[in-house]
Amino acid sequence: MQSKTSFFNKGLYKKNISRTWIAGLLYLIILLLLMPVSYIISIADWDNTYFVDVGISKGMCLFMHIADMPTAGLAAFIVIVLSAITFWYLFYKRDTYMMHAFPISRKSAYFTGMASILTVAVIPVVVVSIIMTIIALTVDTIALAGIWYWALIVIVSTVLFLSIAMFALMVSGQLITGIVFYGIFVMLYYLMELAFRITSSMLLFGMGASLQSQRVRILSPLQFIPGNCKVDYVARYTDSGYLRTLVMKLEGAEYLAIYFVAALVLLTVSFLLYKYKKLETVHDFIAVPFMKPVFTIGMAFFISMVAGAFVSGMYEATGNHTYGSKFAVAIISSIIIGAIIFFATQMMIEKTIRVFSAKKAMYCAGYSVAALAVLLCLRFDVFKVENKVPKASEVAWVGIESQYTMVFTSEDEINTAISLHKNFLADKKELRDVNVKYEDVSGTFFTIKYKLKNGDTITRQYQVVDTESPDVSAEYVAATQPILDFLNNPTIIKEHVIGNIWDDCHVRDMYFNTVTYDDVHNQFNYYTEYFMNLSEYERMQKYEKVYQALLKDIDDGKVFRTTFSGYSMENETKSLYNDLSFTVLNGDVPYFSDVDTFYEEQYDPRTKYDSDGQRYEQSIYCSLNIDCKNTLKALKDEGFYYSDDQVITWDEYDKLMGYSEYEDPEAY
Pairwise CA distance, residues 662 & 465, whole Å: 20
Window from 61-70, 218-227, 648-657 with minimum mean pLDDT: 648-657
Instruction: Estimate the crossing angle of helix 291-317 against helix 188-203, to 10 degrees.
Output: 30
CB contact at 8 A, 182 and 221: no
Q: Which backbone phi and psi does 7 adopt, to 5 degrees?
A: -95, -5
Using the predicted structure, report yes or no on whether residue 603 has a pLDDT greater than 50: no
Using the predicted structure, report yes or no on whether residue 580 has a pLDDT greater than 50: yes
| β strands within 482-626, DSSP E | 506-518, 523-528, 580-585, 617-622
Q: What is the CA radius of gyration of the chain?
A: 32
**How is the chain split into domains, by residue range?**
10-187+217-280, 293-379, 392-487, 493-667
**Among 284, 299, 310, 259, CA closest to 72:** 259
Q: What is the DSSP string of 15-72?
A: HHHHHHHHHHHHHHHHHHIIIIIHHHHHTTTGGGSHHHHHT--HHHHHHHHHHTS--H
Q: Is residue 40 classed as helix, strand or coil in its secondary structure? A: helix
- The identity of residue 226, as a single letter, is P
Q: How many CB atoms lie within 10 A of CB 196?
A: 18
**Among 388, 397, 384, CA closest to 455:** 397
CA dihedral sign of residues 192, 193, 196, 202? negative
| Gap between the terminal Cα atoms of the chain | 83
Q: What is the pLDDT of residue 628?
A: 94
Average pLDDT, the chain: 87
Residue with the bigger pLDDT between 204 and 34: it is 34
Q: What is the pLDDT of residues 393-429, one digit of tens each?
A: 999 999 999 999 999 999 999 999 999 999 999 878 7
Q: Considering the entire predicted model, what is its pTM?
A: 0.79
Q: What is the pLDDT of residues 623-664, one digit of tens each?
A: 899 999 999 999 999 999 998 889 998 888 888 777 755 455
CA dihedral angle for residue 117, residue 119, residue 125, residue 126, rounded to 10 degrees: 160
Q: State the pLDDT confidence band at 129, using cuts at 50, 70 and 90.
A: very high
**H/E segment holding residue 458:** strand 457-465
Q: What is the pLDDT of residue 569?
A: 46
Q: What is the pLDDT of residue 662?
A: 46
Cβ-proximal residues to 350 (8 Å cutoff; 6+ apart), any chain: none
The b/e string for 50-62 (b: 16+ C-beta within 10 A; e otherwise) is ebeeeebebbbbb
Q: What is the pLDDT of residues 507-533, one digit of tens each?
A: 999 999 998 877 777 778 888 999 999
CA 619 from chain centre, in angstroms, equals 27
Window from 91-105, 124-138, 435-449, 635-649 with minimum mean pLDDT: 91-105
CB contact at 8 A, 82 and 124: no
Question: In the chain, count of helices (H) and strands (E)?
Answer: 25, 10
Average confidence (pLDDT) over 195-215:
80
Angle (CA) 252 257 258, round 5°:
95
> Residue 591: CA atoms inside 13 Å, Cβ hemisphere, count?
25
Using the predicted structure, report yes or no on whether residue 205 has a pLDDT greater than 90: no
Q: What is the pLDDT of residue 542?
A: 95
Q: What is the pLDDT of residue 609?
A: 43
Q: What is the pLDDT of residues 455-514, one digit of tens each?
A: 888 999 999 999 988 889 888 999 999 999 999 999 999 999 999 999 999 999 999 999
Q: Is residue 530 classed as helix, strand or coil in its secondary structure? A: coil
Using the predicted structure, report yes or no on whether residue 594 has a pLDDT greater than 90: yes
Instruction: Estimate the crossing angle of helix 10-32 against helix 106-139, to 10 degrees.
Output: 30
